[in-house]
Every structure is written in C-alpha cells, then in structure tokens.
Copies of this chain bind each other. A is one copy, B any other.
Amino acid sequence: MRFISRLPAMGLSLAVAAGLSASALAQQGQPPLSAEESDPRVLGWMVGSPPPADKIITQPDSVYFSFPRLRWSVCHLREFLPTEEISRGLGAPVPLSYLTPDELTQYAEEIDALTFTPMNSDGQMTWKDSLGANYTDGMLIMHKGRVVYEKYSGCLNEDGKHAAMSMTKSLTGLLAQILVAEGTLDETKRVIDIIPEIKGSAFATATVREVMDMTTGVKYSENYADPNADIWVYSRAASPLPKPEGYKGPNGYWEYLQQVQPEGRHGDEFHYKTINSDMLGWIITRVTGKEVTQLASERLWSKMGAEQAAYQTVDGKGVPFAGGGLTASLRDLGRLGQLMLDEGVINGKRLFPAEVARRIRQGGDPSKFAGFPTIPNGSYTSQWWVFHNDHGAYAARGVHGQTIYVDPTAEMVLVRFASFPTAANGRIDPTSLPAYQAVAEYLMAKD
C-alpha cells in the first residue's frame, strides 16, 4: 500500500493546478522566506557535482513542488515528469519588436517607480517592490506590439522555460474556440454526441460550451484531508507511473472523466474544476484526431515565430494534461498574448479568425460567477478569466502567480511567471491586478 500512497504525489501537481498545493498546506502558519531569501540561486539548489544532499531536489512532488524548492522546480518540470513537445517547427524564430535600448532603460526606470494601492490596503507599493512581493521569475510587458519591459529572476532566463500551470487551460480553451469559429466543433452539442463512451459520466449531458465555461454540474472535490477526495483519485489516474498491481481505479485522464458523478445542474453556475479542461482536451482530440500538443504546434507555436518549443506533461497513456501541464518561455507566451490582442494576427499573418479573440474578450455570464473576491465582477469563458473592468482586460491565470494579462484599451500584453509560496491567486492578486492597471495607465499616458 505504500506504493499507492505515494502515487498521489506523482499526480503531476494536479492539486497545484487546481489551486491548492501540498506545499501551501505544509507552509500554513509559517512566514515564508522572502523572494530574495528563497531565490534558487541564493539557496543553491542543484549546484555541485553532485550537489550537497540537502540541495538536491528530487521526487516526489510533495518534495520538488514544495516551497522554496518549487522556486527551482517551476523551471525544470520535465526533469521530473514525462512530457510531450509542442514543436516550434524548423523555421527561424521571428524576434519580438523592442523599444530602443535607451527607451527600454527609461521605461524600466519609470515603470519600476510606479506606485499603486494594493487591494485591501491603505498603503502604497512600488511596481519594483511588487515584483519581489509576488516572487516574480519573469515579467514581460508589451505595448502596441513592442516590448517595453522585460525582466528575469529566480530560476528563469530568456532561453529558459517556466511552468504555466493553469494557463494551460486557456491554451486548451483557445484551441477549442478556434475550432468553434471554424465550424469543426459545435459548442451547442452535448458531450455524449461527440464522445459516446462518456455516457456513464455527468459530463455526458453537458454542452461543449458549458465545458468550455466550466458551468458543468460535476462532482469534483478537492478536500485534501479526505483520502477519498476526487483529487486523489484523479491524481492516481493521471500518474504516468505503472499502476500498482491490484489497482482498480481509472487509468489516465480520460478514464477518470468517464466516471464523474453529477453535482448541481449544468449551466447554472461557474465552478472552477480542472476536470472540465481535460474534458475539453478530449473533445478537441476527438473532433480533430490530434493531440492538443500537436494542435498547439500546428496552429500556434509553429506559426507565431516562437523561439522555443514548449512542452506538456502527460499521463501514463500519453494524454497531455490539458488542465495544467504546459511549460513555455516568457517571450513565447508574450507572442500568444499579442496574438490575442491583435485578434489572431501576428507578424502579418492571420492564424485564426478575429471572432475567436472577440468572443473570449466578451466574457461569460458574470451572474454565474462567484467565489473570487479579487475578481468581483468577473466571468470565465473558453477557459479565460475576464475582468469586465474599464479596460476590458482578460487573462490566462495559473496558480503561484502565472498570468497572461491582455488589456485591449491600453494595447498592453503582460506576461508574468512567478513562484509565490502559496498556490491560490487570491493571495497574489492584491499586489498584482492594481499594479497591472497602474502600468496600463502609465503606458496610455505615454501615448
């Protein structure tokens, strides 16, 4: 039984992707090290041949994805897990446009000095201090298609890659939205009409749109204290390791999805449950005959001038983790954000119809959205978060502080990689969302 009890730890950080990590739990009540103190270069993880025993980061994920080790591991997930490549193809990358070096210096100084009021606070914080407060590993800001700010810290470099966590969902949702716009995927269809073998699952009678918007009525508990909680069953199913003898549970994401029980009614309310993203990944693969990694390569990475191949973790049957498995470079997610801002056009080429980005930007039904105090008027649609604020901003978001933040009014794309000690973005938003707004206003004032 020891083997079984270890399996959840190999569950590809499903818990983390879902919004709450074992590390966060373990750290409760302890003041975590600061960003500077926990910088992986300061702590010296994995330095040496071999590193000292207490500086080696290894399995299981309750170790390698615990703070402060996660500050190293977010750049190295493939060293722990089986993965598939999202190929950038064989052509030359298309470099991003930049301000002149002098302008970049000036903008960096000015942006670093910007101040804003964190949520639920009377005080002021500078942009520069917000980087540390949020354990930022990478920050890229583009304005009107040009990079105006770029910083790397912690484990990340310009030629490195970082875990995107639940921003993966937005990639999956974008692919689905493209297929809807092209007529390959009918969002009004019920899942069972696309995947007949889902018949025993609560997903069967949900529509594709409900899956895309996470308004399905499906049971998926993430009570970590309960050893029978769905999250553990999902983790065991998702583990890429050989299943222990006698294991009777579902094997892989897709078998898990076939036995999901109902909870509530489809269409009633938004519930942030990762299994919707994996259901959507399956739907995409069924209607295209292609894995989401292949589709992401064909439609995006090989056509947007990407600098680096990305990758996605997989389950034991080679199915990519559509709800949280992506790792990519900062600039390539900048390209993806710019592609959204420019409604499907990049480097003079149209990669998808404009209505794809417009539909996402428009958002879901805010009346169905609740439970996220830092996004009071928000909605969730096609696996993207829509703020319904003055600027019409929307975002891909992943735990521990990952975001692609698109502000159409300021013509700004902001990508942040981070390794905040706590998973839940509710802890990270107060010093992030007002900071993004401050930069947006700064950039608009520069016009």
Contacts and interface: CB of A to CB of B under 8 A. Distances in A.
A89 B285 contact: no
A296 to B, nearest CB: 14
A78 interface: yes
Contact of A318 (B10, B46, B242): B46
A58 B316 contact: yes
Contact of A84 (B57, B79, B89, B286): B79
Given A58-B317, A87-B159, A93-B90, A78 B79 contact: no
A182 interface: no
A57 B82 CA distance: 14
Contacts of A252: 50
Given A82-B81, A83-B83, A92-B93, A6 B242 contact: yes
Q: Which label, helix, strand, loop or mixed, suits the secondary structure of the A interface?
A: loop
A245 interface: yes
Interface in A210-247: 240-242, 244-245
A3 to B, nearest CB: 5
Interface string A308-351: 11010010111100000000000000000000000000000000
A420 interface: no
Interface residues of A, number: 50
Contacts of A57: 318
A213 to B, nearest CB: 22
A60 interface: yes
A66 B135 CA distance: 45
Contacts of A314: 79
A436 interface: no
Interface string A81-124: 11111010111110000000000000000000000000000000
Contacts of A289: 49
A49 B2 contact: no
B89 A85 contact: no
A242 B319 CA distance: 22
B245 A60 contact: no
B90 A82 contact: no
Interface in A31-71: 46, 49-50, 56-60
Contact of A159 (B2, B3, B84, B89): B89
A387 interface: no
Contact of A92 (B2, B46, B92, B286): B92
A254 interface: yes
B285 A49 contact: yes
Contacts of A129: none
Interface string A376-400: 0000000000000000000000000
A307 interface: yes
A57 B89 CA distance: 25
7 contacts: A2-B3, A2-B244, A50-B319, A78-B82, A82-B82, A90-B93, A90-B308
Question: What 6 A-B pairs are tightest by C-beta distance, nearest first?
Answer: A92-B92, A49-B285, A59-B242, A3-B3, A90-B307, A49-B286
